[in-house]
Amino acid sequence: MTSLNNSNEKNMIDILIAESFKEIAKTKPIEKITIKEITDRAGVIRPTFYNHFQDKYQLLEWIVDNEIFLPVLDLVKNKKFENALMDMLYSFEEDKDFYMNAASLEGQNSFESILRNSIKKVGLIFLNQEELQNRIPYKWLTVEMLCDFYCEPLSYAVVDWIKSGMKTPKKDCVDGIIFVSTHSPVDVVMFDGKIL
């Protein structure tokens, strides 16, 4: 997990750069934002940006990790997944313009892939990987692959909710995510032993 840094000064600069980026990204497509625009708005020089972030996509990942996932780590640790999901959706909604713009980012550094990687990092932090690996009956199926498999629908559902303007009530979105996460595709399409 990209974490808050040890130094308060470094953390303050990270936040300053992130806030600058978010303000610009509320009205301008992320792929068109330059590092110079970010640093000019933040009042820092370009080398300062590169001392903190490799590029704007790593900055976006830092924002997602620190503003969306870091606040819900205790809920995840205590297995309060529904509460964690609800809090995440509230955080997205608080910065609606920014995240709606971010969600439209596609390609190699898509917002969905950044979100999926952040979800996976959180999962791998709290899973007892050794015990879980021993419970999986197929040695080729690793815990990391399992995380990838389950992170995909979660990130897809959240990005779809954001792209649709966050119109679906948060509770309905969370209930839908939990339903999909707790039912196999076979359970969903079978009724009375027949595929619908």
Choice among 42-56, 140-154, 157-171 with the minimum mean pLDDT: 140-154
What distance in Å separates the CA atoms of residue 71 and residue 57, rounded to the nearest whole number? 21
Encode pLDDT of 98-114 as tens digits: 999 999 999 889 999 99
Provide the whole-model pTM: 0.85
Q: What is the pLDDT of residue 4?
A: 39
Q: Is residue 1 part of a domain?
A: no
Q: Is residue 177 part of a domain?
A: yes
Rounded to 5 degrees, φ, ψ at 107 are 95, -155
Q: Is residue 110 part of a domain?
A: yes
Q: At 20, which CATH number? A: 1.10.357.10
Confidence band of 150 (pLDDT split at 50, 70, 90):
confident
Q: Is residue 99 part of a domain?
A: yes
Q: What is the pLDDT of residue 174?
A: 94
Number of domains in the chain: 1
User: Nearest CA to 118 among 69, 50, 185, 169?
Assistant: 69
Q: Is residue 156 part of a domain?
A: yes
Q: Is residue 194 part of a domain?
A: no
Are 170 and 90 a contacting pair, CB within 8 Å?
yes
Are 81 and 178 a contacting pair, CB within 8 Å?
yes
Cα 196 to Cα 40, 95, 153, 187: the distances in Å are 57, 40, 21, 11
Q: Is residue 195 part of a domain?
A: no
Encode pLDDT of 58-98 as tens digits: 999 999 999 999 999 999 999 899 999 999 999 999 999 99
Encode pLDDT of 115-139 as tens digits: 999 999 988 887 777 888 888 888 8
Question: What is the domain extent for residue 143?
Answer: 8-185
Whether pLDDT at 1 is above 70 = no
Q: Is residue 3 part of a domain?
A: no
Percentage of residues in the chain having pLDDT higher than 90: 63
Q: What is the CA radius of gyration of the chain?
A: 19
Q: What is the pLDDT of residue 143?
A: 84
